[in-house]
Structure 1
Amino acid sequence: MTPKRIACGLALLCGTFALTVLAQPVAREASAANAGAASKDAFADARRRAQEAPFAFRGIALGITLDEFRAGSKVRATPVGSVPVCETDVQAGALGMRLKSHESLTVACRWAHRGDNGWVLSQAVVDGTPAAEHVLRFARIEGQSALRLYEISLVIDEVTAEDLREALADRYGPPRHATQNVSSPGAMPVYVWENAVSSITLCFLPGTRNGTLTYLLKGSDAWVKSVVRQWQASDAEAG
C-alpha cells in the first residue's frame, strides 16, 4: 500500500472516530431529555391521580365501604391487638357507644381491645403519637346499599398538630385555606388541604392545647341530609 493510500485510510478512520465521539454527547443529551420528559409526565400523572383520589388516613381511604374497612388489616391504633368495633356490634354497648342494626343509615366505628375487665377503647395513632379521641363515620348514599366512610375525626395534642401541619404541607403543599393570626377572642387557627373529592382540616383549639384532625369526603353534607330525610320518611311511615 502506498504512503498516500495509508494517509487517506488514516484520515478516513480518524474522521469516523471523531463523528462517533461527537455523536455520543448528542445521544446522551437526547436520552437525558427523554428521561426528563418521562419523569415530568409521571409526576404530573401521579399528581392528577392524587387530585382525583380521596385522601387517606394512614392507608384508610375515604369512600371505602364498611365491609372493606372491617375486612382490611389496617388497624391504626394502640395497643397491638386492637380491632374495629362499630355501633352494629354487641361490644359497642360496653364502650358507651349506641347500638344500631345492620340496616341503620349511619354507623360510627372506633378501635378497641379486650382488657382485663372487658372491652376498652384503644387510641388511634397519629404521627407516632396516640390520639385522645377518634371516630370513623359511615353513611349510606341515597340509592346505594353500602355504608361508606365519609369522615375520620381525631383529637390530638398541640405538639403533634404542629408537626402534622408541617408534614401535610410537605406532602400536599400549602393549605388552600389558612387562618393563622386571629385577633378575636376564641378564634381558632384552621388549616385546610383540599383535592377534587375530599379535604383535610387541622384546627387548633384555644385554651386546650389540643387540635382536631378531620378527613372529610366532599358532598358528605348532602349525604347526611339525605340520611336525615330517609330517617324522617321511615319514621313517618312507622307512625
Structure 2
Amino acid sequence: MKRASLTAFLTCAAAAALAGTLAAPASADTSFEGRITPLPTPVVSAPVVAPASAPAIVQANAASAPAPAPQKTASAQAPRNKVKKRRPTPVTAAARSRAVALDDTPFSFRGIALGVTLTELREANTVRATPHESALVCETDVAGGDIGMPFKSYASLTIACRWAHRTPQGWTPSHAVVDGVPASDHVLRFAHESAGEPLRLYEMSFVVDAATAFDLRDLLASRYGAPRMAGDPSLPLLEWDNASSTITICLMPNGGHATLTYLLKPASPRAKGIERALKISQFDEG
C-alpha cells in the first residue's frame, strides 16, 4: 500500500513539473551554442549616374577655344632648301705631325729636352743609358778623367758629359739607349748662353747602327713629318727643325753607322769664336 502511494506521488510530481515548464514563457537557451559570429552587413554601392552634360564653364571654354589649324599635306608645304652640313676635314697623321714640328718647343730625347740646365738634369737623375745605375759624368768632375775626358772649370764656355757607371776599376762609360738599342757612343754638351747664365743643354749626339737609323727616320717622320734632305744622295742628311731646335740623322761613310743629333738653335747670333767652340758630334774631343 505504501509503495503504491509513493509511486503515485512521484508520478504526480513529475506531471506537475512538466506542466510548469510548458506554462512558463519560451526563452532561447544559448549556453551550448558557443560564440556567435554576426554576419557583416553587405555594402551596396550607390549607382553611378552619368552626367547629363558637362558643367557650364567647361562648355563655355570649349566653345571659345579656337579650332585647330588644318595640317598641311606634303604637297601643300612649301619646299625648303636643305642645308648640307659640311663634314670636318680629317686630320692626317702627317698634318698632325707637321703641326707638332712647327711648335716652338725645343725637341727632346726620351724626356730630356734641349735647353734644360745641367743642375736640373742632375737633380732629376734622368738616365737614358745602360746599366740603369749610370750617372752623368762631366768634364767638370774629377771622375771624368777615368773615362778619358779633360778637366774643365764650371766657368768654361762649354762642357761635355757622358753617362758612366762605377766599377771596381773605376768609372766606365755606359751605353746610351736609343730606340731600345745601346748606342756605340754618345755625348751631351752644355754651354753658357751669356756670362752669369747657367750651363744649358744645347746638343745631344749618338752613334747608332744603320738599322736603328732607318727605324728612327720612320719614327721621326711619323711624329714631325717628312724631313728636309741635304748632302750627297749616297750619304743623305735628314733634318727636322722647328723654331728653336733641329734633329739630324747623318749616315757615316762606312754605311754601317749613323749619327743622331739634337741641336738647340741659339737665341741670338753668336760670335765666330764662340761658334767654333760649339763643336758638333766631335766624340773624340769630349
Matched, 1:163 2:215: yes
With 142-151 and 125-134 compared, the bigger mean Cα shift is at 142-151
Matched, 1:146 2:214: no
Q: Match for 1:94: what amino acid?
A: D
Q: Rg: which structure is higher? A: 2
DSSP 3-state at the match of 1:81: coil
8 Å CA contact 1:140, 1:227 repeated in 2: no
CA-to-aligned-CA distance 1:40-68 (integer Å, 9 cap, x gap): 9xx98x93696201111111111111111
Q: Match for 1:210: what amino acid?
A: H
8 Å CA contact 2:101, 2:224 repeated in 1: no
Provide the C-alpha distance between the structure 2 equivalents of 1:167 and 1:123, rounded to a whole number of angstroms: 21
Partner in structure 1 of residue 248 of structure 2: 201
Q: Match for 1:211: what amino acid?
A: A
Change (3 A) 1:221 1:91: farther
Change (3 A) 1:166 1:93: same
Runs of 4+ in 1 over 6 A off after TM superposition: none
| 1:8-157 pair list within 5 angstroms | 47=99, 51-157=103-209
CA-to-aligned-CA distance 1:190-209 (integer Å, 9 cap, x gap): 10111011111101112250
Deviation at residue 222 of structure 1 after TM alignment: 4.7
DSSP 3-state at the match of 1:156: strand
Deviation at residue 100 of structure 1 after TM alignment: 1.1
Change (3 A) 1:83 1:223: farther
Partner in structure 1 of residue 42 of structure 2: none
Deviation at residue 176 of structure 1 after TM alignment: 2.2
Q: Match for 1:108: what amino acid?
A: A
Provide the C-alpha distance between the structure 2 equivalents of 1:94 and 1:165, rounded to a whole number of angstroms: 34
**TM-score (ref. length: structure 1):** 0.71
Provide the C-alpha distance between the structure 1 equivalents of 2:272 and 2:120, rounded to a whole number of angstroms: 24
Provide the C-alpha distance between the structure 1 equivalents of 2:169 and 2:229, rounded to a whole number of angstroms: 45
Matched residues, number:
200
**TM-score (ref. length: structure 2):** 0.60
DSSP 3-state at the match of 2:233: coil
Higher helix share: 1
CA-to-aligned-CA distance 1:78-136 (integer Å, 9 cap, x gap): 01101101111111011110111122221100000012321110000000000000000
| Consecutive unaligned residues in structure 1, runs of 5 or more | 12-25, 183-187, 231-239
Change (3 A) 1:229 1:126: closer
Tell me how large the CA RMSD over aligned residues is: 3.7
CA-to-aligned-CA distance 1:137-173 (integer Å, 9 cap, x gap): 0111124421111111110001100100110111100
| Consecutive unaligned residues in structure 2, runs of 5 or more | 1-53, 60-64, 72-82, 278-286
Change (3 A) 1:162 1:229: closer
8 Å CA contact 2:100, 2:224 repeated in 1: no
Provide the C-alpha distance between the structure 1 equivalents of 2:275 and 2:236, rounded to a whole number of angstroms: 31
Deviation at residue 179 of structure 1 after TM alignment: 4.8
Change (3 A) 1:48 1:181: closer
Matched, 1:218 2:218: no
Q: Match for 1:165: what amino acid?
A: R
DSSP 3-state at the match of 2:103: helix
Provide the C-alpha distance between the structure 2 equivalents of 1:196 and 1:218, rounded to a whole number of angstroms: 8
